[in-house]
Structures are given as structure tokens and as C-alpha cells.
Amino acid sequence: MNLADLNKIALAMVTSGKGILAADESSGTIKKRFDAIGVESTEENRRDYREMLFRSTEAMSKYISGVILYDETIWQNAKDGTPLVKLIEQAGSIPGIKVDEGTQALPGCPGELVTVGLDKLAERLKKYYERGARFAKWRAVIDIGQGIPTTTAIHVNAHALARYAALCQAAQIVPIVEPEVLMDGGHDIDRCYEVTQHVLRDVFNELYVQRVALEGMVLKPNMVVSGKKSPKQASVQEVAEKTVRLLKSTVPAAVPGIAFLSGGQSDEEATAHLDAMNRIGGLPWKLTFSYGRALQAAPQKAWSGKAENVAAGQRAFAHRARMNGLASKGEWETGLEKKVA
């Protein structure tokens, strides 16, 4: 493992004013999103859509530091035969790859899941590196509900995240470590804080045990927010203050940066929360974004599967990328949302 090179890539992933595009939706997830805009989810349509994003010169070169790809996408070529990973590189962005293989029910823990995909991961990482991937992503899912999460679910998922991270670094690939505490329930923000704190402490303990170099990774956590079904929704400022306080108490300063997931927040909510955190300042790590739906919902709608709408889709993508780029520097304002290029 060359830690200096891993650290260089990790720092580039959290470059000021830029963030990571999560374009790693599984075939099932992208189908749901295409269904919503009336587009058939064929391999060609998925290719054309992602090519549209990666050829969005303004967004990719100015605001996107890296792109997380799905297995199908990393092997695809653009219409003109150029590998999609090359389009990403040509835009000055870093190709990455989602390597987990989804979730399974966790035995003995009703209602809880464990992420799988460690078998043969070392071999897969070699092939992804050869294709151009320089970072990877693994998502662990922790739900909040009656009697959950259990210590078992938190520990098993933290252990798998750390094993994945160690394998990535051995393959000279920067791991994005993504423990997501879901915001789907009726819990309040303080319950989210409590569970996320437990999760992050366990994750960093496991990373230490498995000798993962913190300087060569990026953390992708949830923000501390109220559950979607909670009657009391926290304000933007409360989310920012509690998230920053939590991270300061759990995330070592050696970690180069934190790239938040949006987790079902609206486009503008995810941007506002990130901006408010960066306005607090005095942080030992960079705070940026690694958004999927919060970057893509607008361009998907603008594109709607039609070749004549490619430019409109790219404008919508560039706008959302710019808004989040500004938020990653604490320079976003609500009024800017109206000024679509």
C-alpha cells in the first residue's frame, strides 16, 4: 500500500468547491427512476443517460471531483466507443466503483440487514483498478425502529465496512466508508444523533482494529436529521449544529474529508444543510457531498429520455452541481436556486 498516493486521491475527492456524483444506482433503482419519467430502463438508455452527465463539461470540470459507478457502467463505452471511465477522466474527475452486492436479512435480528460482497472482492478490485477505478464505495444500512438497531447489526456492518476498506487499500483503491442510518422512521433528531454516534464509534473502532489508514479514506455518513415521519422536523441550523457536534466527537482529524449522502432529503434541503455546516467552520476535515438522487432528479426530469433534451438535462445537472459546490464552501444562498443557467 502506498499511503501517500491514497491520501492524494482522497484529498482530490474532497477538493474545495467540488463533490462526488453517486451514479451507482442498481438496475432496480434506476428502473424506478426511469419509470417516473416514462423512460424504458434498457442498457442503451442507461448508457445514454450517464453519458449525458459525464459529457456535461461545466458540471464535471468545475464541481464534480469523482463519480461512483455501478458495475454495468464501468464496463460500458459511450456511443462513439470511448469508455465511460475515460469521459470521466477527461473531465478531470476520478472514476470510482460501488463494490458491495446489496443487503441480506441478518440472522437472529428481525428487520435488520447486513451488506454482502466480501467474497472474491480482492479479485474484483484488481479488475476495477485496471479499468481505471481509483476509489470504491460500500454502503451499510442501519434502520431505526422499535427495538432496533441492535448492537449486533451495528457491529456486524461496521466489521464488514472495515474489512472492505482494508481490502481496498491493499489494492491501492481509496475506500468510501458509508454507514447510513436511515431517515425513514418516526424518530426525532436526538434519536438519530444517538444511533449515528454509536454507529460511527463502532466503525472507527473496527477501522483501527483492521489497520485501515485513515488518511487514505473518505467517510460518507448520513446527516443528523429527524425521521421523515417525525411530527417534529428539525430546522436547518439544528441539523447543521448537531451533525457537526457529532462528527467532532467521533471522526478523527486524520480523515481527509466527509462526503455526505443525501438520504432522501429534497435537493434544496441537502444543499442547505451542507451549506449551514460549512458556515459553522473550524473543522478538521473537508465537508462536501456525495449525492445521487439530490444531484440527478432534476437532470433526469429535464432529459426524459429524449436526445433533443440532452442540453437541458446537462444545464439542470450543472445547476445542482454548482449549488452543492457553493454549499461545500458555505457560499450557497436560496436566491441562487432561481438562477438556472
Supply the CATH number for residue 185's domain.
Answer: 3.20.20.70
- Give residue 338's pLDDT: 79
Confidence of residue 5 (pLDDT cuts 50, 70, 90): very high
- What's the average model confidence in pLDDT over 45-49? 96
Q: How confident is the model at residue 136 (pLDDT cuts 50, 70, 90)?
A: very high
Whether 64 shows a pLDDT value over 50: the answer reads yes
102-120: b or e for each residue (b if 16 or more CB lie within 10 Å)? ebeebeebeebbbbebbee
Summarize the confidence of residues 323-340 as an average pLDDT.
90
Share of the chain above pLDDT 70, in %: 99
Q: What is the mean pLDDT of the chain?
A: 96
Predicted pLDDT at 95: 98
Cis before 95 (ω within 30): no
Residues assigned a catalytic role: 178, 220
> Number of C-alpha atoms within 13 angstroms, CB side, residue 176?
36
- For 164, the domain range is 3-338
Judged against a pLDDT cut of 60, whether residue 240 lies above it is answered with yes
When divided into structural domains, the chain yields a total of 1
What pLDDT sits at residue 1? 86
pLDDT digits (tens, 9 = 90+) for 182-207: 999 999 999 999 999 999 999 999 99
Cell of 295: 444531484
pLDDT at 341 over 70: no
Residues 6+ apart with CB under 8 A from 262: 270, 289, 291, 292, 293, 294
Task: Tell me the per-residue pLDDT of 296-330, one tens digit each, with 9 for 90 and over.
Answer: 999 999 999 999 999 999 999 999 999 999 999 99
Angle at 84 between CA 12 and CA 315, to 5 degrees: 75
pLDDT score, position 340: 55
The residue written with cell numbers 451507482 in the block is 24
pLDDT band at 102 (very low <50, low <70, confident <90, very high): very high
242-281: pLDDT as tens digits: 999 999 999 999 999 999 999 989 999 999 999 999 999 9
236-242 LR contacts (CB < 8 Å, sep 24+): 236/269, 236/272, 236/273, 236/276, 237/276, 238/189, 239/189, 239/273, 239/276, 240/273, 240/276, 240/277, 240/279, 240/280, 241/280, 242/189, 242/193
DSSP conformation class of 111:
T
Q: Which three cell numbers stand for residue 39?
A: 423512460
- Phi (first) and psi of residue 174, to 5 degrees: -75, 125
pLDDT at residue 339 tops 80:
no
User: How many Cβ atoms are within 10 Å of 310's Cβ, its own excluded?
Assistant: 18
**Which tens digit of pLDDT belongs to each residue from 218-229?**
999 999 999 999
**Which 3 state secondary structure label does DSSP give 185?**
coil
DSSP E strand stretches across 152-211: 174-181
